Structure 1
Amino acid sequence: MQIRKANSSDSTSIINLLKASLGESMIPKSEELWNWKHRANPFGASPVLVAEDDGVICGVRVFLKWEFLQGDQLIKACRAVDTAIHPDYQGKGLFKSLTLSLIEDLKEEGIDLIYNTPNAQSSPGYLKMGWEKWGKLPLKMHFNLSLRKSKNQSPASDWTSISSIIHTIEEFKFTSENIETNVIPGYIGWRYISCPLFPYEFISDGETYLLIYRIKEGKIGKELRIVDFFQLPDFGQNEKKQLNSRLKTVQKNESVRFTSFSGLRFKNDLPIDMGLMPVMSIGPEVTLRQVSSTDDLLQKPWAWSLGDLEVF
């Protein structure tokens, strides 16, 4: 058994292993998804380790590179994402060996921390390897009690029409005491426009704000899920009114049962009208793992958006 860094020729074998171990589930495994996720990422190519037995790849562990900013301080991070062990090799400690080996590699790269949103089944394993529970994100929901089926439907978003504000957002020097994603050039295009998993839509005036959302079908009806919101200094009361008016139009046209917003970025000054329901701590559960950082990660002023934490 050998653990080694993956190379470009391993992609097909890795994707086949993911299918054999995990199935297609909600997220289909494909070359397109792998390349978008692990090669096109503007923060850098994903570090990947594989376990190989007699020339056959039987395990894989992948971390997705990410960057955060707190003021002028750059925080290099990774998100623990894809992992798979072939059914014939499960229960032999490969997952732990691959994960801890990859963490050692990240120390040499100067990565500060790893974060993820594990489910109830995988969380205990991460905690045993040094992850700590930060907690669940707050979730704000607004239900449409007068839902009627609309004859209209909002057109698919034309992302090329807002290329100017995307460029401005990615070039703007946001300064905050909170820790937010480092929105570098190419980030919005990669994360939302070219994402092969979901069709993301937007609401924007092209100058002062950009709200990104997706429509999700659920058991109780359509959900309008707000995943990110960017506002520039000229965003004021008039722009706020326009934003909420446009949001209501989309909710009506799409026959949305409820709208959700989860995250910390606008916890105290959310400019979106979300009704009177209280904020609930039932969003994704976040765990953190120190790599090179010596700070108390749990006490840092995190300001995640759902776009930083959505399962992908």
Structure 2
Amino acid sequence: MTASSAGLTYRPLRDADTPAVLDLLTASLAGGPTGTRSAEFFEWKHRQNPFGSSPGLVAEHADGRLAGVRLFLRWQWQSGGRAVPAVRPVDTATHPDFQGRGIFRDLTLRLLEEVSAEAELVFNTPNGNSLPGYLKMGWQELGRVPIAVRVARPAAFALGVRAALARRSGGGERPLVCALPTAAEWFAGPRTGLDELLRERAAADVTDTRLAVRRTADFLRWRYGDAPGLDYRVVTCHRGGELAGLAVGRPRRRGPLHEFTLADVIVRPGDRGSAARLLREAARAGCDHVAGHLAAGTEAAAAARRAGYLTVPRTGMVLAARSPSGPLAAARTPADWRFNLGDLEVF
């Protein structure tokens, strides 16, 4: 089904559009989190997602050029054991020749209407430039997601912070080093004990009414093990020979600093000791610091201080949301969610 407006045709995204969409996203948003926008990454993100293929729309000019593109990444939260289907606005771009015509708004509102029958929640973490536009389209700013940081290499961290404040490179680019095994290798192995760990976690979480993603082996393998070019790493800890906890993160450059972005921490219910061990091991990955979101009430949050993690004030991503049909029925804050950074990380 297509619709026309101001000489443009709005239609569903097709598989054959992928090369042109990648060119448009590269021109507008550069290379993305991996540095290069590849068909492999696009396929993994938007077609292999265990929550379902991403709905998308394009604005096509009469000469065949794509004037704009908008995709929603499918996600699924749960609250007290009830599934809450959601979408996350991602990968949007307008060709420079067509900017100023309201294409971003048109694509977004049309796609919201298309997903209204199948999604209860629309959420994302817009930056300061895009947030005003989302607020005009009915999004609500829910608050800032707090980030906890653990300095791992004090001297290198101090030098990097000084260089960042002075807007200097930091004396030449250092090689990014991480001693942890890759998630691709770990999830390709036997993963002994993972299913049991996840079953115990899910059974305990069913009474939690906060919005959270149910971690399954298939989800974790897709999100971290199969992610092309994102270099996720795995930390594990064992108790009595059994898998007691799993953490996932990735080394990345933050200006002159090397950060280990902690995406996920999973331990058995009440096992703060294993959470502390995972947090300490993440700090030994080889980066200058570790950064992650440790949701209140979780074992990781309870273990954070004794593992050397402190919440940094006035930092973190802004969380915004709406329903497909309009504002949220009930006001929410980040405290109503129990997410890991991997749920909000831009990828």
Cα separation, partners in 2 of 1:169 and 1:91, compared to 1, 3 Å: farther
Structure 1 residue 208 corresponds to structure 2 residue 244: yes
Q: Which residue of 2 aligns with 1:164?
A: 192
Cα separation, partners in 2 of 1:134 and 1:128, compared to 1, 3 Å: same
Amino acid at match of 1:132: Q
Q: Which residue of 1 aligns with 2:99?
A: 90
How far off is 1:130 after superposition? 0.4
Whether the 8 Å CA contact 1:141–1:258 is kept in 2: the answer is: yes
Structure 1 residues 50-98: Cα deviation after superposition (integer angstroms, max 9, x where no partner)? 1112233221110000000111211111111011111111100111010
Aligned residue pair count: 304
Secondary structure, aligned partner of 2:54: coil
Of residues 213, 227, 233, the one that matches 1:195 is: 227
TM-score by length of 2: 0.78
Alignment of 1:72-151 (within 5 A): 72-109=81-118, 111-144=119-152
**Comparing 182-191 and 87-96, the one that deviates more:** 182-191
Cα separation, partners in 2 of 1:49 and 1:143, compared to 1, 3 Å: same
Percent identity over paired residues = 30
TM-score by length of 1: 0.86
Whether the 8 Å CA contact 1:139–1:281 is kept in 2: the answer is: no
Cα separation, partners in 2 of 1:13 and 1:191, compared to 1, 3 Å: same
Whether the 8 Å CA contact 1:225–1:260 is kept in 2: the answer is: yes
Unaligned runs of at least 5 residues, structure 2: 1-7, 157-173
Q: Which residue of 2 aligns with 1:18?
A: 25
How far off is 1:114 after superposition? 0.8
Secondary structure, aligned partner of 1:67: strand
Q: Which residue of 1 aligns with 2:59?
A: 51
Cα separation, partners in 2 of 1:265 and 1:209, compared to 1, 3 Å: farther
Amino acid at match of 1:30: S
Cα separation, partners in 2 of 1:243 and 1:90, compared to 1, 3 Å: closer
Amino acid at match of 2:292: F
Whether the 8 Å CA contact 2:123–2:319 is kept in 1: the answer is: yes
How far off is 1:182 after superposition? 2.7
Whether the 8 Å CA contact 1:228–1:306 is kept in 2: the answer is: yes
Q: Which residue of 2 aligns with 1:218?
A: 254
Whether the 8 Å CA contact 1:264–1:305 is kept in 2: the answer is: yes
Amino acid at match of 2:341: L
**Comparing 266-275 and 72-81, the one that deviates more:** 266-275
Q: In structure 1, how many angstroms separate the alpha carbons of the residues matched to 2:217 and 2:275?
A: 26
Q: In structure 1, how many angstroms separate the alpha carbons of the residues matched to 2:48 and 2:221?
A: 11
Whether the 8 Å CA contact 2:88–2:124 is kept in 1: the answer is: yes
Structure 1 residue 290 corresponds to structure 2 residue 318: no
Cα separation, partners in 2 of 1:266 and 1:193, compared to 1, 3 Å: farther
Structure 1 residue 154 corresponds to structure 2 residue 179: yes
Secondary structure, aligned partner of 2:116: helix
Structure 1 residues 163-184: Cα deviation after superposition (integer angstroms, max 9, x where no partner)? 2344335554432222111324
**Comparing 61-70 and 283-292, the one that deviates more:** 283-292
Q: In structure 1, how many angstroms separate the alpha carbons of the residues matched to 2:328 and 2:257?
A: 45
Of residues 301, 307, 311, the one that matches 2:342 is: 307
Q: In structure 2, how many angstroms separate the alpha carbons of the residues matched to 1:86 and 1:94?
A: 10
Q: In structure 2, how many angstroms separate the alpha carbons of the residues matched to 1:72 and 1:276?
A: 30
Cα separation, partners in 2 of 1:8 and 1:37, compared to 1, 3 Å: same
Q: Which residue of 2 aligns with 1:258?
A: 289
Q: In structure 1, how many angstroms separate the alpha carbons of the residues matched to 2:255 and 2:322?
A: 34
Cα separation, partners in 2 of 1:170 and 1:186, compared to 1, 3 Å: farther
Q: In structure 2, how many angstroms separate the alpha carbons of the residues matched to 1:11 and 1:288?
A: 28
How far off is 1:25 after superposition? 5.4
Cα separation, partners in 2 of 1:155 and 1:267, compared to 1, 3 Å: closer
Secondary structure, aligned partner of 2:37: coil
Q: In structure 1, how many angstroms separate the alpha carbons of the residues matched to 2:215 and 2:255?
A: 34
Q: In structure 2, how many angstroms separate the alpha carbons of the residues matched to 1:114 and 1:143?
A: 34
**Comparing 160-169 and 298-307, the one that deviates more:** 160-169
Unaligned runs of at least 5 residues, structure 1: none
Whether the 8 Å CA contact 2:276–2:307 is kept in 1: the answer is: no
Of residues 23, 37, 46, the one that matches 2:45 is: 37
